[in-house]
Structure 1
Amino acid sequence: MLEILFGSKNAERVLQYLSTKESGYIREIADFYDVSPSVIKKQLDKFELAGILVGKNFANIRIYELNKRYPFYNELSALLNKALTSYSDEDRIKLIRKDRTRPRANNKPLLMRNENE
């Protein structure tokens, strides 16, 4: 939806991913959208150079997130949130869903939630 404004579909994807997931790294974003990591790296580098994103090194990976000190951060966030409402239900749910990042402990019980509660 915003690819014309941002210059490419991948630029929109990177910003939308970081807006909804709050942070991410190159391979994670590339796998999420099933695109080449080099394409994602190019967009991340461009946005980091412009000050829209900040990157932090953790071990041998670089984690990116939206720069809260960017002068137009609030406006950019509002625009990305508004664009999210125009995505298909499937795409929106895929972006919003929080995936587990580590396995459940062996002795932790599995609790089932009732839909009636």
Structure 2
Amino acid sequence: MLESLFGTINKENVLLYVYARGEGYPRGVAKFFATDLRSIQNQFENLEAGGVLYSRMVGNTRLYAFNPDCPYLPELKALLEKSLAMYPENERELLEVGRRRPA
């Protein structure tokens, strides 16, 4: 839905996943959306370089979350909330629940 705004479906998927779960890691996003891991890693890296996300290490896994210092974070979250509300209920529930930490 937001691919035209964000440039790629993978960037949209990363942002929606992190928004719905509060944090995420590349392998989890790639597995959830059944897509290429390297493409997802690139999106996480680009979003972190742009100041939208930040990361921290938990064991051997790099977890990403929204950067609270991002100046347009409230607007981005509002857009993601609206987009998530348009997803079919079963897909939205799958995205919002599940494991919240790396495997």
Asked if these proteins are the same fold (TM beyond 0.5), I'd say yes
| Percent of aligned pairs with the same amino acid | 37
After TM superposition, give the deviation of residue 9 of structure 1 in Å: 0.6
Whole-Å separation in 2 of the counterparts to 1:17 and 1:36? 15
Residue 87 of structure 1 aligns to a residue whose secondary structure is: coil
Contact 2:21 2:100 in 1 (8 A): no
Structure having the higher Rg: 1
User: Structure 2: how far apart are the matches of 1:50 and 1:57?
Assistant: 19
Kindly indicate whether the alpha-carbon contact (under 8 Å) linking 2:21 and 2:96 is maintained by their aligned counterparts in 1.
yes
CA distance in 2, matches of 1:12, 1:90: 18
In 2, distance between residues paired with 1:100 and 1:84? 18
Detail structure 1 runs of 4+ shifted over 4 Å in the superposition.
Answer: none
Q: Supply the RMSD in Å over aligned alpha carbons.
A: 1.3
- 1:27–1:53 distance in 2 versus 1, CA, 3 Å: same
Q: Cα deviation per residue 1:57-95 (whole Å; 9 max; x = unaligned)? A: 122211001111100010000100011111112211111
Match of 2:96 in 1: 96
Q: CA 1:94–1:100 in 2, change beyond 3 Å: closer, same or farther?
A: same
Secondary structure at the residue paired with 2:65?
A: strand
**Match status 1:14 vs 2:14:** yes
Judging by fraction of residues, say which structure has more helix.
2
Letter in 2 for 1:52: V
Structure 1 spans left out of the alignment, 5+ residues: 102-117
Name 1:35's counterpart in structure 2.
35
Equivalence for 2:56: 56
Structure 2 length normalisation: TM-score?
A: 0.91
In structure 2, what residue type is equivalent to 1:38? R
Shift of 1:100: 7.3
Q: 2: distance between equivalents of 1:56 and 1:12? A: 21
* Larger RCO (CA within 8 A; separation ≥ 6): 2
